[in-house]
Amino acid sequence: MTLVNAVPQRQGAAGPRAAELPDGCLALAELAGHVLGRPVHHVRQTQSVSEVDRGVFSRAELTGPNRAAQLAALESPGGPVLTIGGDCGVELVPIGVARFRHGPGLGVAWFDAHADLNTAESSPSGAFHGMVLRSLFGEGDPEFAAAPALEPGRAALLGTRVFDPEEQAAVARGLAVTSVDAMAGVEKLYVHVDLDVLDPAEFAGLNYPEPDGWTIERLVAELDALAGYGVVGAGITECVGTSREVEVLTPVLEAVGRLLTSR
């Protein structure tokens, strides 16, 4: 049975709409529960913020109560987990737990307009949502670096169209790849969907919109193409849409649901 966790964290994000992420999370989670026919578990997250500390905005909140609550929610999931964010930083815990449980053969399909491969030193904003994938590879700030970490080359950037120089360098050395087929030795798969992979004309409720994104139809097709993998978990993040706006995402939730129930 799929566990749906709503994680309304906003401290990992930057941008003028970051404060809307908790409400967007709740709106999307309510729709996910309806579409998937599953109850939604609300993971309590503090909403306080703090200044940049050693290059990371709101470090104390991200490494303290928010993380502890997520870890507690994943102690005995009993099946695949769908995490509804909140900012992309909410993926640090479920992907880290999946890597621990499923071993070095875990791969990640990272649907995102941004590579999220910065470190605290290279980030232009200090926002952790731009560092989370790098942290999952065990690199960067030790308070966030995953252990065990993803194996190099076992994350595929899909729909990614914005790279900072440090992120380009990470891809150039093979830390992440740009197609699922390029991930060798993947035995289980986690699917991350930052909604900014979509074009802003397709969905208005984006925290960090970027032009030239995908249509909803394209995203659904790309998700369905992963049906041959054993998908053990998924996350959908960075929603600032209202209950009415998120309804257009129903096909995306249905596609993710198919992946989580076909393993």
Question: pLDDT tens for residues 140-167?
Answer: 999 999 999 999 999 999 999 999 999 9
- Omega of the bond prior to 130 within 30 degrees of 0, cis? no
Can you give the pLDDT at residue 113? Answer: 98
Closest among 235, 109, 80, 101 to 183, alpha carbons compared: 109
Calculate the average pLDDT of the chain. 97
Per-residue pLDDT tens for 163-208?
999 999 999 999 999 999 999 899 999 999 999 999 999 999 999 9
Coil, helix or strand at residue 188: strand
Per-residue confidence at 263, pLDDT binned at 50, 70, 90? low
Residue bearing tokens 């970027």: 210
CA torsion, ordered 5, 115, 145, 53, to nearest 10 deg:
-90
Answer whether 190's CB lies under 8 Å from 232's CB. yes
Per-residue confidence at 76, pLDDT binned at 50, 70, 90? confident
Per-residue confidence at 1, pLDDT binned at 50, 70, 90? confident
Q: What is the mean pLDDT of residues 217-227?
A: 98
Report the percentage of the chain scoring pLDDT > 90: 96
